[in-house]
Amino acid sequence: MKRVAVLSVHTSPLEQPGTGDAGGMNVYIVQTATRMAQRGVEVEIFTRATSSELPPVAELAPGVRVRHVAAGPFEGLGKEELPGQLCAFTAGVLRAEARHEPGYYDAIHSHYWLSGQVGWLARERWGVPLVHTAHTLAKVKNLALAEGDAPEPRMRVIGEEQVVNESDRLVANTDIEASELIKLYDAEPSKVAVVAPGVDLDRFTPGDQARARHWFGIPQDAVVLAFVGRIQPLKAPDVLLRAAAEMLVRDPGLRSKLVVLIVGGPSGSGTERPKALEELAWQLGITDVVRFLPPQPGPTLAEVYRAADLVAVPSHNESFGLVALEAQACGTPVVAAAVGGLPVAVNDGVSGVLVHGHEPGRWASAISGLALPQREHLASNAVGHARRFSWDRTTDALLEGYQEAGEVFRREVFA
C-alpha cells in the first residue's frame, strides 16, 4: 500500500472541530491520515474549497496533502445543497488523478455518503477498491429525531443505499453500527468490518484540575458540568441545561457553586437559531451558572475536560462519541445517553454513567444522584477505559482493511 485517496466532500480536515459541519469526522480523518503517513503510506485528502483564498494543495502533515476542489460557490453553500455539486467535485477529483500514471492510488476511503457517491465513480474509473465510512446514517437518525430537528431527506437515504451496495469494504465504528448497516441497508455482512475510532493519548491526558480552572476563571470549589460539541438538536445540549435547572430546583444551595460550560458553535439545524441555547438558559433562569465558549483547539480543549467534574454527552444519536473518549482520557467521567456507540465509548458504572432517554429529571438524577457522588471512583477508571482505544490501533486496522479490500477487488476483476 503506497498511496490512499481520502474523500471528504462536505468538510475539510483543516477546519476547527466543534462548529459548522466540522466534528468527530474531521478528527478521525486527521488522526488516521497522519498516522498512515508515519507508516510510509502517502495520503491525499480531497475536500471542497470553501474560499477563493485557499491554496489548491495544502500540507496537513508530512506525507498528507489536502486538495481543495472547486465545486460550486466558495461560501454560503449548505450541506443539503452539496448533492447538486457532486458532478463538479467528481470532475475535479478525476482531473487530479489523470495527471498521474495509472494505478497512482491503491485505495479510496470515502467519509460520509456525499463522498461515497464520488468514490463510487472514482472506483470504477481508477480500478481500485472503495472503502467507506458512513459516520452517521440517515435511517438511524430518522428513528431517533430530536425535537425540532428535520428528518434526513429521501435523497440521502437512496444515496446511502447506493454507496453501501457499491463499496468493497464498509467500516463501522461499533458492532451496533455494523448491525444497522446489515439490517437497515441490506449490507453484505462479509463487507462490513468493525474498526473503533481512537483518542489522541498524547494530547488528552490527566492534568491539574486547579490549573485548568484557573485558566478559565472558574472557582476551585465549583461543581463543573461540561458539554463539548456542535450546538444542534442532534447533540442535545439543551438536555444538560434542563437537567441543571432541575438540579437547582432540588437543591437551591447548589447555585453558588454550579458552573455549566457549553463549548462549541452552531451547526446543522442549529444555525437557524444560533442564539436558541442562550435563550433557553434565560428562560430556565440559569444564565448565572452557564458559560458559553467557542470551539477550542486541542490543547485548550484538554484543559476544558480537566476543569470539569463531569462531561455530558446527551446526544440523540452518536455513531461513536469521540468527546466521551477524550474526556475520559483526561480522567474526567462522562454521563452519556445510552444510544448508538456511546455504550462502547463509556463503560457504564465503571468510567461513567449511561442514561436511558432524555428526560431532564432523569438526567438530573443521574448527574447529582449517581455520577457526582461516585466521581472519584469513576475518574479512577476513566483513563484506563480510554486507553483501550488509540488512533494507532484504528490506523493499523484501516490499512489492513484496505489491503484485504484490494485483494478481494482484484479477485473479482480477474475472475
- Report the 10 Å Cβ neighbour count for 80: 14
Q: Is 53 annotated as a binding residue?
A: no
For 139, which DSSP code? H
With H, G, I as helix, E, B as strand and everything else as coil, classify residue 51: coil
Nearest alpha-carbon partner for 326 in 413, 396, 227: 227
Q: Is 230 annotated as a binding residue?
A: yes
Which helix (DSSP H) or strand (DSSP E) does residue 361 occupy? helix 360-365
Q: Is 403 annotated as a binding residue?
A: no
Q: Is 211 annotated as a binding residue?
A: no
Q: Is 24 annotated as a binding residue?
A: yes
Which three cell numbers mark 78? 449548505
- Is residue 164 within 8 Å of residue 140, measured between CB atoms? no
Q: Is 136 annotated as a binding residue?
A: yes
Q: What angle do CA 283, 284, 290 make, to 5 degrees?
A: 105
Q: Reduce the secondary structure of 142-165 to three states and give it as a string.
A: HHCCCCCCCCCCHHHHHHHHHHHH
Q: Is 332 annotated as a binding residue?
A: yes
What is the rounded distance in angstroms from the CA atom of residue 105 to the CA atom of residue 119? 12
Q: Is 26 annotated as a binding residue?
A: yes
Q: Is 328 annotated as a binding residue?
A: no
- Is residue 363 within 8 Å of residue 310, measured between CB atoms? no
Q: Is 90 annotated as a binding residue?
A: no
Q: Is 305 annotated as a binding residue?
A: yes
What is the rounded distance in angstroms from the CA atom of residue 258 to the CA atom of residue 328? 21
Which residues is 337 bridged to in the sheet? 355
Q: Which amino acid is at 369?
A: G
Q: Is 21 annotated as a binding residue?
A: yes
Q: Is 79 annotated as a binding residue?
A: yes
Q: Is 362 annotated as a binding residue?
A: no
Q: Are strands 57-61 and 352-355 parallel, antiparallel or unpaired?
A: unpaired
Q: Is 109 annotated as a binding residue?
A: no
Q: What is the dihedral of CA 196, 201, 202, 208, to 10 degrees?
A: 150
Q: Is 35 annotated as a binding residue?
A: no
Which segments are annotated as binding site for UDP-N-acetyl-alpha-D-glucosamine? 16-17, 24, 230, 235, 296, 318, 326
Which segments are annotated as binding site? 10, 16-17, 21-26, 79, 112, 136, 156, 230, 235, 296, 305-306, 308, 318, 326, 332
Which segments are annotated as binding site for 1D-myo-inositol 3-phosphate? 10, 21-26, 79, 112, 136, 156
Which segments are annotated as binding site for Mg(2+)? 305-306, 308, 332
